[in-house]
């Protein structure tokens, strides 16, 4: 059997997140992979790839079809990945073939890992493709057991007073309060659609049965407006290249709102909620500031509230 080599960058990510526990988990990946190769009747079929936390091995099943074995530690974010993929059943998303919830291991249909939507040079075309996929994904009601945006939003609001106190810059404090205010207006109506939560160009891959399919969701139940931010911020250089950042952001925002059939004010409010989440994460990571690109997005979409 071909030796399974864990990429050094993946090990470094796990050490960064969990220290020695992360190093140990990464060291156990070859044995974990061999377990599922045997249990699910798979053989290796190429070089490994990886995301920030997952190792993905191209494999072939006993019937000769290609697949991808995804190995990842179980976290709050990815614990809902398999149920979400089952609910979508391949409609706009990669197909789930096998799963083991106890270890977070998934067997997925094989897509073209080397060709993501980032390869589409025309930003307007790429965004249209992504928006059409997102419209299909959020059309599905969230199944039972999903994390719920209402709970996440309330937890964020509970964290705001302490977070504001940590920000030394009055401008950042102002924006964090703006974000929190938008969430307070919407928290009572958090929505019930099945959200991807991380749909950007690199999480859309070329496929065989469809031109493009979404991968790597972190599903939760909520309002589709909470799913717009990754595409607004994606490939930011294309926005700045227009020479008018506000206009560039609103072009993206308006296209997605139209394709998804959303209320612009609610979509803007939940997008500000996403920026609140990102800001709180920055502070948790010891960064006492807000991202300037995200503030530019906030400044633009406030005009749609």
Q: Please list the pLDDT of the chain residue by residue as tens digits (305 residues).
A: 568 889 899 999 999 888 998 899 999 999 999 999 999 999 999 889 998 899 999 999 999 999 999 999 988 888 999 999 999 999 999 999 999 999 999 999 999 989 999 999 999 999 999 999 999 999 999 999 999 999 999 999 999 999 999 999 999 999 999 999 999 999 999 999 999 999 999 999 999 999 999 999 999 999 999 999 999 999 999 999 999 999 999 999 999 999 999 999 999 999 999 999 999 999 999 999 999 999 999 999 998 98
**Ramachandran angles phi, psi of 21, nearest 5°:** -65, -40
**C-alpha–C-alpha distance, residues 151 and 286, integer Å:** 24
Cβ atoms of 212 and 91 within 8 Å: the answer is no
Of 88, 89, 101, 36, the closest CA to residue 67 belongs to: 36
Q: Give, rounded to a whole angstrom, the gap between the first and last alpha carbons of the chain.
A: 58
**C-alpha–C-alpha distance, residues 75 and 197, integer Å:** 15
**C-alpha–C-alpha distance, residues 239 and 250, integer Å:** 10
Half-sphere exposure of 256 (CA within 13 A, CB side): 30
Q: How crowded is residue 104: how many other Cβ atoms within 10 Å of its Cβ?
A: 19
- Ramachandran bin of 56, using left for φ above 0, alpha for ψ from -120 to 50, beta for the remaining angles: beta
Every domain range in the chain assigned CATH 3.30.200.20: 8-110
pTM exceeds 0.85: yes
**Ramachandran angles phi, psi of 140, nearest 5°:** -90, 130
Residue 52 DSSP code: S
State the CATH architecture for 8-110: 2-Layer Sandwich (3.30)
Which entry of 45, 151, 159, 198 is annotated as an active-site residue? 198
Q: What is the pLDDT of residue 3?
A: 80
**C-alpha–C-alpha distance, residues 143 and 192, integer Å:** 9
Of 271, 262, 295, 129, the closest CA to residue 200 belongs to: 129
At the topology level of CATH, where does 115-304 sit? Answer: Aminoglycoside 3'-phosphotransferase; Chain: A, domain 2 (3.90.1200)
**C-alpha–C-alpha distance, residues 268 and 263, integer Å:** 9
Cβ atoms of 107 and 40 within 8 Å: the answer is yes
Question: Quick check: is 227 catalytic?
Answer: no
Q: Which are the contacts of 72, defined by CB distance < 8 A and separation ≥ 6? A: 53, 54, 55, 78, 104, 105, 106
């Amino acid at each position: 059997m071909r030796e399974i080599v864990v990429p050094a960058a993946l090990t470094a990510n796990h050490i960064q997140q969990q220290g020695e526990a992360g190093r140990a988990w990464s060291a156990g990946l070859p044995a974990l992979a061999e377990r599922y190769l045997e249990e699910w009747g798979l053989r290796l079929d190429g070089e490994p790839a990886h995301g920030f936390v997952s190792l993905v091995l191209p494999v072939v099943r006993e019937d000769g079809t290609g697949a991808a074995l995804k190995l990842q530690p179980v976290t709050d974010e990815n614990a809902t990945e398999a149920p979400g993929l089952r609910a979508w059943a391949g409609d706009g998303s990669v197909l789930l073939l096998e799963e083991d919830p106890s270890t977070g291991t998934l067997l997925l249909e094989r897509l073209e890992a080397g060709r993501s939507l980032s390869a589409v040079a025309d930003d307007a075309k790429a965004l249209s493709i992504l928006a059409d996929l997102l419209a299909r994904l959020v059309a599905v009601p969230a199944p039972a057991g999903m994390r719920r945006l209402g709970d996440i939003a309330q937890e964020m609001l509970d964290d705001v007073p302490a977070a504001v106190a940590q920000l030394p810059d009055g401008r950042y404090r102002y924006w964090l309060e703006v974000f929190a205010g938008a969430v307070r207006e919407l928290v009572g109506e958090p929505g019930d659609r099945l959200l991807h939560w991380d749909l950007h160009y690199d999480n859309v891959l070329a496929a065989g049965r469809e031109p493009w399919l979404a991968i790597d969701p972190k599903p939760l139940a909520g309002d589709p407006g909470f799913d717009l931010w990754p595409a607004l911020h994606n490939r930011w250089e294309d926005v700045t290249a227009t020479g008018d950042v506000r206009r560039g952001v609103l072009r993206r925002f308006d296209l997605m709102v139209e394709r998804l059939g959303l209320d612009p004010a609610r979509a803007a409010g939940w997008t500000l909620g996403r920026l609140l989440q990102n800001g709180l994460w920055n502070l948790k990571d010891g960064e006492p500031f807000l991202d300037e690109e995200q503030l530019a997005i906030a400044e633009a979409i406030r005009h749609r509230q």
